[in-house]
Amino acid sequence: MKPILVLCPAFPKSGTTSLYWALGETNQFTTAILKESHYLWRILRDKTVVYGSDPEWTREKLHRNVIWEIKRFSMWQKELPVWEFIELLYSFVYDPANYDKYIRYHSCLGNRSMDFSLQNFDLSDKELNEAKEILDDYFDIRIVICLREPQDWIESCYRNGITLQSDNYNYEHVVEKYSKKWPTLIVKMEDFEHNIVDVINEFFDCKIDDDWRIGHLNKTDYTKHPKIKLPERLEKKVKENRQFYDSSKTAIVSNGV
């Protein structure tokens, strides 16, 4: 049986960090060195950006994550000697990306390893077909997509300097694109405080306790901030995503191909 690899390709400011850490705390999912490595995107777009030069990831912060991951891995002794895993981690972070390193890294993390690289929303159908052809031999890929009420989502992005320039920031298009390739689960941010354990357990074939909730990390109370007027371009995005959001619910929308 192939290990489950959880991909969350979208969307920013939609609760993905809360979901990532809530799943990780169950001990049935494995967090990765970086919540968003953008590794697949780097492979498919032939990008050589490394995280030592990412201004959001200082070398000290990155090294703390590396040390934490080495300690965790050393308790498992899974598949690789610790020294070889250290080399893989270093290569994963600093060297040009390739499928072999991605596969080896997530294979080492065990079942239900998570890659919440939100940049993957922008990958094309052709790029996803390439990834599917290669990765499906090694992983049982499951897709989870977080949706937030469109007005709140766009305003939060705008306040945080996320410009949403790409036309691919579209709920329906991203869900359709991924659900044609792999089993896909929609989780609406409004359900983070509700009991959605049954659908999580069914989709990921796990056994999370019934009292588990996602909750909210990094949640800002915008009632304490002045009202903002969105640019016309962003008001249009709110309308574009409204119908799909209102007609959706937290549910499994596809069992894949």
- Map out the domains of the chain as residue ranges: 4-30+112-255, 50-111
Answer whether residue 49 shows pLDDT above 70.
no
Check residue 152 and give its pLDDT. Answer: 93
- The model's pLDDT over 195-236, given as tens digits with 9 standing for 90+, comes to 999 999 999 999 999 999 999 876 666 666 777 899 999 999
R_g of the chain, CA atoms, integer Å:
18
192: three-class secondary structure by DSSP: coil
User: What's the confidence (pLDDT) of residue 83?
Assistant: 76
In DSSP terms, which residues pair with 183 in a beta bridge? 255
User: In the chain, what percentage of residues exceed pLDDT 70?
Assistant: 87
Residue-level pLDDT at 257: 63
Question: How confident is the model over 69-107, as pLDDT tens digits?
Answer: 777 677 655 667 777 887 877 777 777 889 998 998 898
The mean pLDDT of 239-254, rounded to a whole number, is 96
Q: Is the pLDDT of residue 243 over 90?
A: yes
Residue 35 has pLDDT above 70, yes or no: yes
The answer to whether the CB of 241 falls within 8 A of the CB of 150 is: yes
| 35: its two tokens | 């919540």
